[in-house]
A and B are shown apart, each in its own frame.
Chain A
Amino acid sequence: MKRMQSFICRIVLAVLFRALKFLNRKDTRMKAGFSAYEDGYSFRIRAGMESGAPVLSFCVRNGQLEKQSHEVPVQLEITMKSIPDAFLVLTGQLGIGASYAGHRFFMRGNPNEAMGLVTCLELAEAYLFPRFLSRRLMLDVPKKEFPALLVYAGLICPGGLSRTGR
């Protein structure tokens, strides 16, 4: 069960990064959210405390999001307390705000700097999840600037849509 959850979390983290990267180019609020961090600022999301737990590490470089090594220290590292906790959040069963409120993760780095990332993650969820699900996860679902289908297309073909130039 846990291995299956871990496998799904790994896939969702990969999709999540692609969505964040795509939206950082296309959505004005996502762009504003990440550009508030200094150049080179780096993040890590660990889907559990175990050494083999799925991890996503990335940084903001010249306004773009770039993946980076999981070995390099980062400024903000969020670790879910267990793989089942990560599974709840990454599969849309628990909101990010609720998981913070419910002590489902711990954080290394300045908690004051986490709100920008939380806003960007919620924005990505608003595009990726159907509206009925997003409304269960967030007190206020942010409006989409363009149809979610474009994001899904961007996930499949990340380079293709970037030339539309928005």
Chain B
Amino acid sequence: MIPEYYEFQNMGKVCSGKLALEHIPYELSMKHASRPLILTDHTLEKLGMLKLLQKAMDGVDTTHVFADIYPDSSIDTVRQAADFYTRCGCDSLVAMGGGSVLDTAKGVAMVISQDGADIYSLIGCEELPQGKPVPFLAVPTTAGTGSEATCVAVIAHPQKDVKLEFISGHIQPQVSILDPRMTQSLPPRITASTAMDALCHAIEAFSCRQKNPLSDAYAIAAIRLISSHLLTAVTHPKDMEARMAMANGSMIAGAAFSNSMVGGVHAIGHALGGVCHIAHADAMAILLPHVMSYNLDVCTDTYSELLLHLAGPGAYAAANAHERAQKSIETIRSLNQTLHDTCDMPITLAQTNRITPDQFEAVAEKALKDGAILFNPKALGKDFIIRLLKEAY
């Protein structure tokens, strides 16, 4: 189905696989850059990842490092990093880390490209005009957020206690570096939940209101990669093929949902994070089968096709046509159960130990104010959200 009108943007280059890090100097030189600001966090520094990156960037000045980035990136951090960039006379950005580091880097890229404008003045959706080009390379160290391929940055405003959303085609990193060394030390529990976040991005992109032929192609590729390699990545962390499949799946899912948006799982998941501080990836894994069950009657064809990509041609052919959509949901439930048995990933809200039923009302209220709810294929009212939370508890 082709929508009446759609837009799609994915302008990034991808360097994926063995020795990808060693290609950073070449990529920088192609952009006439030689003095990057490296953005990362202290945990990755302690784990030796920063050293690994600096060693790989042979011949490039790697002395300018900003590592004071903490979970839930803030506009203060963006301002400090942008000042540091200017003071050091840097000419490019290399961001190595998870969603928070990459979102901070997107904020810095915006500020620098807009000639030092205050980050708060740049907030908006598709409103930012193209500024001065800032070479920007992203090196993700988790396989989940897909931030390296998205046009979105979420940055907190601690004084106002709100999360600011920046949506612009100009904040997408120009190069994504996917190197197996970056994710091989991720513990199984984190590998599992972040992969479910990525799978959720792909499934929501494949079924939400803004889906289009291009986002479908990306979503299907991501679903296939993630579903066929996730268990291996969890049980055999050093399996390079599985790790690269997860890194690629996450990045491709990021490109899909950046264009087609996400839906009810994310709207409720964001609210669970805001009200109860449930980790985003855990919320995604828990909610996905419940929201899919809710959407089933309007997504029967989509979820039927999903079975082919999730479970493969054998399972698809073996299922009766009218059972396939339901089987897709069962496949997600059984994947969740296996991950719970293997590495203790929570599959009910109660197992997170962060929420009690008296908070459901507040969560539902907050979810209704989340923009992602607009893209869910079926209207989600407050009563339904509360019912869904009860089921997921």
A interface vs B, CB < 8 Å? 36, 79, 97-98, 100-104, 106-116, 118-119, 138-140
Contacts and interface: CB of A to CB of B under 8 A. Distances in A.
A112 B374 contact: no
A104 B7 CA distance: 10
Contacts of B376: 139
With most chain B CB atoms within 10 A of its CB, the pick from A79, A98, A104, A116 is: A98
B381 interface: yes
A140 B264 CA distance: 14
Contacts of B381: 140
Given A108-B123, A111-B124, A116-B369, A139 B379 contact: yes
Contacts of A36: 369
Contacts of A118: 374
A111 B125 contact: yes
B126 A112 contact: no
Interface stretch (B142-150, B161-169, B335-343): B161-169
A108 B261 contact: no
Interface string B160-192: 001111010000000000000000000000000
Nearest to B126: A106
27 contacts: A97-B374, A100-B371, A101-B374, A101-B375, A102-B4, A102-B5, A102-B6, A103-B6, A103-B126, A107-B125, A107-B126, A108-B124, A110-B162, A110-B165, A111-B165, A111-B167, A111-B371, A112-B162, A112-B163, A112-B370, A112-B371, A114-B125, A114-B371, A115-B374, A118-B374, A139-B378, A140-B381
Contacts of A138: 379
Interface in B185-231: 209-210
B91 to A, nearest CB: 29
Contact of B369 (A106, A107, A115): A115
Question: Which 9 residue pairs across A and B have the least CB separation, nearest first?
Answer: A140-B379, A139-B379, A106-B126, A107-B125, A101-B210, A111-B165, A108-B124, A97-B374, A115-B369
Contacts of A108: 123-124, 127
Given A101-B374, A139-B378, 5 more contacts: A106-B126, A107-B127, A108-B124, A110-B123, A115-B374
B368 interface: yes
Contacts of B163: 112
B125 A115 contact: no
Contacts of A106: 124-127
Nearest to B374: A97
Given A115-B368, A139-B379, A140-B381, A98 B209 contact: yes
